[in-house]
Every structure is written in C-alpha cells, then in structure tokens.
Amino acid sequence: MRIAGCLSAALSWPRLIFSYPVRALRFAIGSALPGGVQCPVMSHFDVRKAAQVVAFFIQKRGGKTDLIDAMKLAYMADRTSMDLYDVPILYDDFCHMKHGPVDTRTYDYAKGSGSEQPIWDSYIERRDNDLSLTPNALKDNFDRLSDTEVDVLERVAKKFSDIKSFDLVSWIHENCKEWEDPGRTSNWLPFERVFEVLKKNNIEERVERIQEIRNLKEELAKAQ
C-alpha cells in the first residue's frame, strides 16, 4: 500500500523525526497505524492548522488584530521554527511583498480567497483589515498544533508583545535580511534564502527534508 510505504519511509528518517515535532508528525501518520487513534491527515497545506496559528496570535493580541500584524507573526513563527528545528510550522510557500515576507496561502485565506475558505472562516472573522476570533475559535483546543509548535508560537508572541502592525513590519525589514523589496509586485522567497540568513549549514539537505515532509503529506492525503 502507498500509505504503508510512506510510513516506512517516515520511520527511516531519524533526523526528520528528531527535528519534526512528534505530535505534529502523528497527524501525518496516525491514520496508518493499525488499531491506533484516528488522526486527521494533513495535505501539503493544512488550512485548519494555519487558521489555528493565526487564531493563537489574535488571542495573544487580546482577541483582535489587523491583517498585517497577523501575517507578520505567522511568518515569524515559521522562521523561528526553521531556526530551532529546521522545519516551518505551516509548510506554506513564502514570498516577498511590500510589507515584508508572507506565507502565501495563509495570506490568501486571510484575504478571503482560499479554496477551503469555510474552514478558515470557522476560526477567524474579518472586517476590512481587522481580524477577530469566532465563537468556535474561542472554544477550540488548537489540536493541529504540537506542544513544540505551541512553544514556538509562545516565543514569538512574547518577543513581539509590544511590537505590532507597521512597527513589526519595520522590525522585520531591518532584521530579516532575507526580505527584498519587490516594489508593487511580489516575488517568491525560497527556503534556501531563509536558511542562508539564519546561517545554517547543509542548506540543500535541510530544504530537501522540508520537501520530503511535504511529499509525505501529499501522498497520505491521496491515499485516503
């Protein structure tokens, strides 16, 4: 079976499993475990997980923030996770935009143009550029996030507790040297560039690991 092959491959990647939060990996392989707890399988991009990440930061901002603030925090969470564990939290694609780096699919959903928009909207309400939590989000247990990932989100929320919106944009422009001003358009920001700025070695291997996890998620989704 394809799913069993993917599971065997995952279990043969000790470095991957070491760096990838165990509870999060459980969501990717849990449904393949005979007699095990049935866990939702993540595709390449997990919109519910992205919504939970943004909802987490909105909660930390007192229940309301703006679109720019939320997107900058989501990017910084992925960047921090790459620095600490060699993998992002959302496995989204990054791009350069006028106000700094952005998780592209997360941004699409925040703007209301995602392919599974009702899932996102069950967590986050948007009025113009203001984001707030839905009643569903207020009682959600953020089950897509591992303890390790929550720790990363806590670190980011604490670090930027007094820096918001355009002040956060200015901080990122000054301190995240991977960002390049694209003018009035947007340009792809490769993982290689982020790792380079983070002064990581074996960059190609690290990027391959991210792609392997993405591929695993896609294969498991197809097998359902």
User: Residue 182: phi, psi to the nearest 5?
Assistant: -90, 5
The HSE-up count of residue 187 (CA atoms within 13 Å, CB side) is 11
Instruction: Measure Cα distances from 69 to 16, 21, 48, 129 in Å.
Output: 31, 26, 19, 10
What is the pLDDT, as a whole number, of residue 141?
86
The model's pLDDT over 63-101, given as tens digits with 9 standing for 90+, comes to: 999 999 999 999 999 999 999 999 999 999 999 999 999
In the chain, what is the straight-line distance between the N-terminal and C-terminal CA atoms, in Å?
11
Q: How far apart are CA 197 and CA 87, in angstroms?
A: 15
pLDDT number for residue 25: 39
- How high is the pLDDT of residue 220? 81
CA distances from residue 37 to 34, 131, 160 in whole angstroms, order as listed: 9, 34, 37
Q: Would you state the structure tokens that stand for residue 24, as one six-digit string?
A: 């999060």
Q: What is the pLDDT of residues 184-217, one digit of tens each?
A: 999 999 999 999 999 999 999 999 999 999 999 8
Q: What is the pLDDT of residue 44?
A: 77
Span 157-189, pLDDT tens digits? 999 999 999 999 999 999 999 999 999 999 999
pTM here?
A: 0.81
Please give the mean pLDDT across all residues of the chain: 84
H and E: helices and strands count for the chain:
12, 6
Dihedral over alpha carbons 83, 85, 89, 90 (to 10 degrees):
80
What ranges do the domains of the chain cover?
A: 47-201
- The answer to whether residue 6 scores a pLDDT higher than 60 is no
Residue 43's pLDDT band (cuts 50, 70, 90): low
pLDDT-based confidence at residue 37 (cuts at 50, 70, 90): very low
Q: Higher-confidence residue: 222 or 186?
A: 186
